[in-house]
Amino acid sequence: MANQQFKILIVAATLATLVLIVPHSGSFVVLLATRAMAFAILAMSVDLLLGFTGLSSMGQAAYFGVGAYLTAVLATKFHFGLGWDFWIVVILGILLGAALAALFGLFAIRAGGVYFLMITLALGQCVWGLAYRWNSLTGGDNGINMSGRPNFGLDLGNEVTFFYLVFAFFAVSMALMYVLVRSPFGQSLAGIRERELRMQILGYNTWLHKYIAFIIAGGFGGLAGVLWAQTNGHVSPETVVLTTSVDSLLMVVLGGSGTLVGAAIGTAIVFGLREYLSTLVPWWQYVLGGVYVLTILYLPMGLMGLLSGVRQRFGSQGKGEGLKKLATKPS
Amino acid sequence: MNTQFWVVQAFNGVSYGALLFLVGSGLSLIFGVMRIVNLSHGAYFLWGGYIALSIIAATGSWALSLPLAALAVALIGLVMERLFLRSEGFEFIRNAVIGLGLGLLAALAAVRGHFIGAGWVQFAVVTALVTMVFFFVFSRVSIIPIETDVLRQVLLTVGFAFLFQQGALDIWGGNNMDINPPSALTQSIVVGGTYLPLYRVFMIGMALTFGIVLWLVMEKTRMGAAVRATVDDAQMARGVGIDTNRISMFIFALGAFLAALGGVIGGAFLGIYPGLDFEILPLAFAVVIIGGMGSLGGAAIGALAVGLADNFGKALFPEVSYFTLYAPMVLILAIKPTGLFGRD
């Protein structure tokens, strides 16, 4: 357990360093970090499903999208969520994401393996279709432009203030998910990931466990969406497209699934590459495609898996658990 | 909304379904035979259209562009399948290709960062050096096969879809382009007082032709029987001496061929533009999912259903048109996860 406390300490120290350094960097870095942290909440919610429950969801952008659209629609159509009621929007976003996941989960959880992938893809496309076509509500292809961020004594229009807020949400989300996966409930999820049949024989209602995990992930997705909408000030169907879901999956695998921290690292790398390179060179997408290909072929356990592999090789205390299992459950 | 409206919409739906059949049937066969969820299928569609544009620009012949573009993309698919999806025996070339890709990127980055000049000699030297380093590293890494891991297949093919997307952007630019079929096909015929564009009739004809040929090959030939056996149980098929490796190669190339053919044909009324690949991909998946993965007849039914749902959805309920397309798909999946005609 000392090992575990040491890991927590490293993560806490890294986060503290981030929160100390980033605000004093340029505005580009602040914005980049804010965006990445909002998205990292989504990536960690994907990891909750993929890494800890063994469900590869291709529709996680749906919950992200409803959170974002909820924020934008409330702000522009009802002028709601521009002051202290921002916090109500946050709660509504989480509830809406969870409620949507509760609905979608009824269809999806029954299926396994590739069929789960397909059905979540279809569910994600349902939400995308509404965002793209429901002009009167979502603004269609153009999306919704929001005017400014909430101000409740604390002016979120200030990029640095807003960074602190998103950072707080990010850190709290990570801590909550960490507590969740270490809890008995989280342990039973890991059991389902490893061997669902055995868990059923042991008397666990595996459907219900997966369903609850799905709903929790949806809630975090909704939260990420609310923050994302506020970060960009603009919501469009691009938020809900298939590639958003796929990106979040890659981030998890790149960082190392089943680690939470890996999801955050993966998000940071992909965002860093994409946002920084796209300002420099027109061919940045080769790099992104290359990262996909290299990760999948040569780094299936992700960077965290690489790390534990190195630790194992050089005989430290680490047991290299990551190396013993595949990045994802073979189906 | 008179009869005319219904007839025209139904006709448009069926002809769109014909196009989707070409894209979806390949995707379905690939999944059935190889159990690979291929997300670069939309890229094959896009590249088919773009290559056809280049061939038309070079030769002026639309009829020539149809088979040539499809064959070219089939070749691309073949190489991708051999090097990255089923790479036993080709690890050497795969590592070399990836190393070369990284070498080129590194050289490009070096030029951009002014570490080296723009001369081609320096460029080649940097490329060669980086390529060799990565080749050496990759040769030391053993790879966990991706055959059994759906998620890794998905992400790998998405990576290639991004590479293809950027490649198309660099080669053909970002403008909206149109494929112009010969004037003989751009007229309309009149059936019972309704004008039907001849080109859409041609699309239906093409889909029918390919559908029937594929069906005959699958049902009546030895090769087709081997493919069906592989779809049903690949391990057993191998056991009775079917070369499933060769079949998977053949089917992947065939799927790419059909998708590219769809791209050339569809390019005439959809246009060819960046982003089309990821627009057509979910529709192709809808076809496959509704029909059942690996079933040709299912793909036909699925394509028809998606084509009609898309057209009537857009005409009748424009605000929820994509929802009316994907929601039934969810319902079908929830009731029968393998699709209407799929077998587990």
CB A130 to CB B320 under 8 A? yes
State residue B211's pLDDT score.
92
Does A157 touch chain B if contact means CB atoms closer than 8 Å? no
Which residue's entry shows tokens 């004809």?
B205
Question: Nearest-CA distance from B212 to chain A in Å?
Answer: 28
A106 chain-B contacts, CB cut-off 8 A: 334
State residue B45's pLDDT score.
94
Q: pLDDT for A270-300, tens place per residue?
A: 998 888 888 888 888 888 899 888 888 888 8
Q: Is residue B28 part of a domain?
A: yes
CATH assignment, A2-324: 1.10.3470
| Pick from A166, A221, A189, A172: nearest CA to A33 | A166
Diameter of chain B by CA atoms?
A: 71
Q: Is residue B157 part of a domain?
A: yes
Q: Which domain holds residue B270?
A: 3-87+143-335
Query: For the residues A137-148, what does the mean pLDDT come to?
Result: 85
Residue of chain A whose alpha carbon sits nearest to that of B37: A114
Distance of CA B114 to the CA centre of its chain: 39
CB B154 to CB A326 under 8 A? no
Number of domains in chain B: 1
A105 chain-B contacts, CB cut-off 8 A: none
B286 chain-A contacts, CB cut-off 8 A: 122, 125
- Report the distance separating Cα A34 and Cα B176, nearest Å: 34
Confidence (pTM): 0.89
| Pick from B217, B243, B221: nearest CA to B230 | B243
Strand, coil or helix: what is B212?
helix
- Report the distance separating Cα B90 and Cα B88, nearest Å: 5
Which of B104, B134, B155 best probes binding to A when mutated, by most A CB atoms within 10 angstroms?
A: B155
The answer to whether residue A207 scores a pLDDT higher than 80 is yes
ipTM: 0.86
The answer to whether residue A318 scores a pLDDT higher than 70 is no
- Report the distance separating Cα B65 and Cα B249, nearest Å: 24
CB B333 to CB A118 under 8 A? yes
Of B101, B150, B320, the CB nearest to A290: B101
Q: pLDDT for B34-54, tens place per residue?
A: 888 889 999 999 999 999 999
Which of B104, B111, B333 best probes binding to A when mutated, by most A CB atoms within 10 angstroms?
A: B333
The answer to whether residue A329 scores a pLDDT higher than 50 is no
Mean pLDDT over each residue of chain A, to the nearest integer: 87
CB A294 to CB B278 under 8 A? no
- Neighbouring C-beta atoms of residue B195, cutoff 10 Å: 12
B159 chain-A contacts, CB cut-off 8 A: 288-293, 296
pLDDT band at A118 (very low <50, low <70, confident <90, very high): confident
State residue B343's pLDDT score.
65
- Report the distance separating Cα B277 and Cα A266, nearest Å: 25
Query: For the residues A64-86, what does the mean pLDDT come to?
Result: 90
Q: Is residue B108 part of a domain?
A: no
Q: Is residue B290 part of a domain?
A: yes
Does A131 touch chain B if contact means CB atoms closer than 8 Å? no
- Report the distance separating Cα A212 and Cα A226, nearest Å: 21
CB B165 to CB A133 under 8 A? no
Q: Is residue B242 part of a domain?
A: yes
Residue ranges of chain B with per-residue pLDDT less than 70 = 1, 343-344
The answer to whether residue A132 scores a pLDDT higher than 60 is yes
The token pair at A134 is 């429901």
- Report the distance separating Cα A264 and Cα A254, nearest Å: 10
Query: B188-191 and A154-155: which strand pairing?
Result: unpaired
CB B159 to CB A292 under 8 A? yes
Q: Where are the domains of chain A?
A: 2-324
Does A128 touch chain B if contact means CB atoms closer than 8 Å? yes
Answer for the pair A259, A265: CB distance below 8 angstroms, yes or no: no
| Pick from B28, B14, B87: nearest CA to B299 | B28
The token pair at B64 is 């020539």
Strand, coil or helix: what is A66?
helix
- Neighbouring C-beta atoms of residue A325, cutoff 10 Å: 15
State residue A7's pLDDT score.
85
Q: Name the packing angle between helices B41-59 and B244-270 (round to 10°).
A: 60
The token pair at A150 is 């909430």
| Pick from A291, A296, A294, A324: nearest CA to A308 | A324
Q: pLDDT for A213-242, tens place per residue?
A: 999 999 999 999 999 999 998 899 988 998
CB B112 to CB A280 under 8 A? yes
Does A291 touch chain B if contact means CB atoms closer than 8 Å? yes
Alpha helices in chain A (DSSP H): 2-21, 27-53, 61-77, 86-108, 113-133, 135-138, 159-182, 184-194, 196-201, 206-232, 242-255, 261-271, 277-280, 284-298, 302-313, 321-324
- Report the distance separating Cα B68 and Cα B87, nearest Å: 26
Q: Is residue B116 part of a domain?
A: no
We report the CATH number of the domain holding residue B302 as 1.10.3470
CB A111 to CB B337 under 8 A? yes
Answer for the pair B297, B317: CB distance below 8 angstroms, yes or no: no
CB B112 to CB A295 under 8 A? no
A55 chain-B contacts, CB cut-off 8 A: none
State residue B267's pLDDT score.
87
Q: Is residue B66 part of a domain?
A: yes
Question: Nearest-CA distance from A297 to chain B in Å?
Answer: 6
Residue A152 or residue B118, greater confidence: A152
Burial A218-240 (b: 16+ CB within 10 A, else e): bbbbbbbbbbbbbbbebbbbbbb
State residue A310's pLDDT score.
81
Query: A144-145 and A234-235: which strand pairing?
Result: antiparallel
Which residue's entry shows tokens 């934008």?
A72
Q: Is residue B11 part of a domain?
A: yes
